[in-house]
Structures are given as C-alpha cells and as structure tokens.
Amino acid sequence: MIEFEATYFDGKSSKAYPVSIVSDGVQVSVWGDEGQALRYLPLHQCVITPPMGNVRRAIKFPDGAQCETDDLKAVADLEEYIGSNQGMKIVNSLEINWKMAVACLGGIIMFVWIFTAYGIPFMAQIATPLIPSVVTEKVSQQALNMLDNNFLQPSQLDLKKAEQISLLFQNLCKEAGGDFNYRIQFRKSPRMGPNAFALPSGIIVMTDELILLAANDNEVRGVMVHEMAHVRHRHGIRSVLQNAGVFLIVSILVGDVTSITSVAATLPTVLVEAGYSRKFEKEADREAGLYFIKKGLNTTDYQSILMRLGKDHAEHPGLSLLSTHPETQERVKYLQSLEISTPPPSPPRSGEG
C-alpha cells in the first residue's frame, strides 16, 4: 500500500487542495483533508510526469486534474506499477550523477572526433553518387559563371598553344577511360595567378598563367591528372556534403549559444573543412604521382611545378583555390616517398612464367 500527501488541482481553477493519496498498485484514491473521497480510479489511467532530480512530480488524471507531491519515493513506487517513463528514468539517472556527466563530456568529444574524421566523409561518399548528374552539371555551370564574373577573364593564349594543350588533355582522357565527361577550358586570371581547378561536372579550368609557368608537357600533365582525380573521385560534391555535415554538428553543439558567441564557433568549422580538403588534395597528388610512376617515369617534373606554384602563391596572398593545398614541401616529400614505395612497372617481356 502506497500512501502520501499531495496538493490537488482540479484543472478547472487554480485553487490548491491539500490531499492524501492511497494506492494498492491497481486503484488510486484521493482523499480531502476532511476525510472526504475526491477521486477513485484505476492507476493505469494516470500519467506521471518524468523524473528530474528532486523536482516535485505530478500525477495527472484523464480529465485534466492533477496531484503534485514532493514525496518522490512514493511517486517512484507508483511509477513502478504503471511502468511508464522508462526512457526518462535512464536520462534522469545520467543527469543526477557527476561521473556520468563527465563520461558524457568525454563521449561528446569522442563522438565529434570520430564522426568528423570518419563518419561524415563515409556518409558523403555514399550519398554523392545519388546526386543526379543534371544537378552536378547545373551547380558547376553556376560556379563557373560566378568565377567568370569575379575572377576570370577570357583566355589570351595563342591558338596553337591552346590546341596543343587540348590535345594533351584528350590523350589523358583516353588513357583514363571511365564515363566521365572531362572538358578543359582556358581562362586568364591576373587575380588568381597560375592555378587550375576542377568542377564536379568534369570541367577543368586552367589559367593562362599556369600554362606559361609550366616548363614542359609533363608538368602540365601532372596538373591535369591531379584535377581529373578530383573529378573522378567527385571531390567537389563530397566536400559540399561534408561541409554540410560539419555545419550540422556545429549547430547541434552551439545550439544554445547566442549569435555573438557563435562567431567564435566558426573557427573549428574552418579548421575541419581545411582538413577535409587537404585529404582530397593528397589523394589527387597520389594519382598524379602514380600516373608517372606507372609509365616508368619519375615525378620530378610534377614536383617542380608544385614548387613553382607554391613559391608563386606565397608571393600572391589573397584569393587562391590552391591555398587549401598542403604545404608544398610536404607534398613534394609525399611524392618522393610514393616513388620509393611503389615498384616501377616490370619491364616488357619479363613475364611471370
């Protein structure tokens, strides 16, 4: 038998009645302070408000009346009989315990780390092929228009040079195969300097400045293979999706913060996004390096154009699509180690037999 004191509100007015409540686990009865019976009903028709620390709890009747009490032990016993609030009981047991709070803080840090390092890139990779090519095409066109209006001018390469580079590109496309619609476009851009970038639909833009900077065809090829790798691995769309994922996580984390302080929250966002794009650059460098190694060549030409680009951009601060690239030194070192770790192709005629 459960018995306890409570305050009764009939739900029709704000008047408070002191009452005592008696329940045998099946029925519940409410008694007024002069011993009159106020209510008698089956316990399972009642709803009990979820537990929260030492907050007063209410037992709600189906017609809108309720009893409030500080006797939390008695309410917990009643709750056992009804079997309600299972989830919130667990939440409450976490909330009243400092050790659990510390564990949750650790859990948040772990989760955010694992999720941004592996979860978001993985999900973006799965979701990317689901985006229809019409959308990719349209988005890329939009982006190119924006760049044309702001940073790019029509190319001033002479026709012969442009044709020669295009031919180089077409041969690379044939070698690469696959059903990607690679296209090359030339632009002049004093503001960006020597630069190249790939749009998700397969458009690869090279600046006149880059072509003039290149000392030989292999240097141009290296840059082209790098950009084609971005297209083939859909790095553009993946980074849009990944950045949306980071936005989601950050907005959950700072959901409670007012707008002034959330300006400070943009810093981690920027760092995480820079980390993602470094990974993509490394992947594209790897493909460019392997392209040469598989042909039995070395990556020296590709390294040297990277170094010249790095030098140029150091003197050219400001807007640059290459500014998210890993440090040039690091990239060159990576290519060198790639050469060592990848066996050169076996010479012809020396088969396994």
Give yes or no for residue 76 binding other proteins (CB under 8 A). Answer: no
User: What's the full length of the chain, in residues?
Assistant: 353
One of 37, 126, 264, 319 touching other proteins (CB under 8 A): 264
The minimum distance between CB 94 and other proteins, in angstroms, equals: 5
Which pair of structure tokens corresponds to residue 43?
């316990």
| Stretch binding other proteins (CB under 8 A), from 8-16, 180-188, 283-291, 324-332 | 8-16
Q: Taking CB under 8 A as the rule, which mask of x and - marks residues 41-70 in contact with other proteins?
A: --------xx-xx-xx-x-----xxx-x--
How far apart are the two ends of the chain, measured CA to CA in Å?
A: 89
One of 62, 89, 96, 295 touching other proteins (CB under 8 A): 96
Query: b or e along 142-178 (b: 16 or more beta carbons within 10 Å of the residue's beta carbon)?
Result: ebbeebeeebbeebebeeeebeebeebbeebbeebee
Give yes or no for residue 86 binding other proteins (CB under 8 A). Answer: no
Q: Taking CB under 8 A as the rule, which mask of x and - marks residues 102-141 in contact with other proteins?
A: --xx-xx--xx----------------------x--xx--
Q: Which is nearer to other proteins, 105 or 212 (CB)?
A: 105
One of 3, 11, 217, 295 touching other proteins (CB under 8 A): 11
H-run or E-run covering 89: helix 86-95
Among residues 78, 65, 53, the alpha carbon closest in space to that of 3 is found at 78
Q: Which is nearer to other proteins, 49 or 218 (CB)?
A: 49
Give yes or no for residue 91 binding other proteins (CB under 8 A). Answer: yes
Which pair of structure tokens corresponds to residue 226?
């790098």
Sheet holding 183-188, edge to edge: 153-154, 183-188, 203-207, 196-198
**Distance of CA 118 to CAs 107, 201, 233, Å?**
16, 25, 17
What is residue 115's DSSP assignment? Answer: I
Q: Are 319 and 191 contacting, i.e. CB atoms less than 8 angstroms apart? A: yes
Give yes or no for residue 257 binding other proteins (CB under 8 A). Answer: yes
| Stretch binding other proteins (CB under 8 A), from 101-109, 165-173, 182-190, 326-334 | 101-109
- Residue 263 CB: number of other CB atoms within 10 A? 9
Contact residues toward other proteins (CB under 8 A) are: 7, 9-16, 49-50, 52-53, 55-56, 58, 64-66, 68, 91, 94-98, 100-101, 104-105, 107-108, 111-112, 135, 138-139, 142, 240, 244, 248-249, 252-261, 264
